Amino acid sequence: MKRLWLAIIITVFTGAVIWQPSEETQAVEVKQKPEIGFAAPHFTLTGLDQQTYQVAGKREKPLVLNFWASWCGPCKMEAPDLRKLHEKYGQQIDFFGVNVTKNDSPEGAQAFVKQYELAFPIPMDITGEVANRYWIQAFPTTYLVDRQGIIRKKIIGMVDGATLETELKQLLEEKTGPLR
């Protein structure tokens, strides 16, 4: 009986040492991390408009992912530029304005969107789980994500419209690099 168990253990151990993941398996194991060069952490949120929005790997268009709160002064200063850039690039780039509702309120978010006439999707992070996944420490924080779902830029704090437009042009021209 001991020899049988020994044979089983040796067989399992040998198989584990010899087995190598296939390219398909390796492709699935893309690390999600809120840092440049890594896959953007996946999420699904309901928007202010009650539609479902998600980030989950490859996309048809690059994505501007802006985390904000209605009480945030820099967010208020940045909102008109985001609106204008969405109007200009919205056919080529997706814009998600993620309201971190855990640190805000649905009413505050609604009033902000109305005041600044934001027409892009406003996913609502009610629990703060998505903000935690993206390591949000300050408002606003903006991520630029390419068509492969890879983060290409992380901007902490307010960004002026001209600088963001330059970054958007680069995002549209950029050839995607390797997945990490």
pLDDT in tens, 21-42: 444 434 445 578 899 999 999 9
- Cα(77)–Cα(79) distance, rounded to whole angstroms? 6
What's the pLDDT at 32? 85
Instruction: Identify the CATH number of the domain defined by range 31-173.
Output: 3.40.30.10
Mean pLDDT, rounded, for 72-79: 98
Residue 124 has pLDDT above 90, yes or no: yes
What's the pLDDT at 28? 46
Q: Is 173 helix (H, G, I), strand (E, B) or coil?
A: helix
Mean pLDDT, rounded, for 43-71: 97
Beta strand spans in the chain (E): 43-46, 52-55, 63-68, 94-99, 141-145, 151-156
Residue 7 has pLDDT above 80, yes or no: no
Give the rounded percent of residues in the chain with a pLDDT score beyond 70: 80
Return the CA Rg of the chain: 21
What's the pLDDT at 174? 75
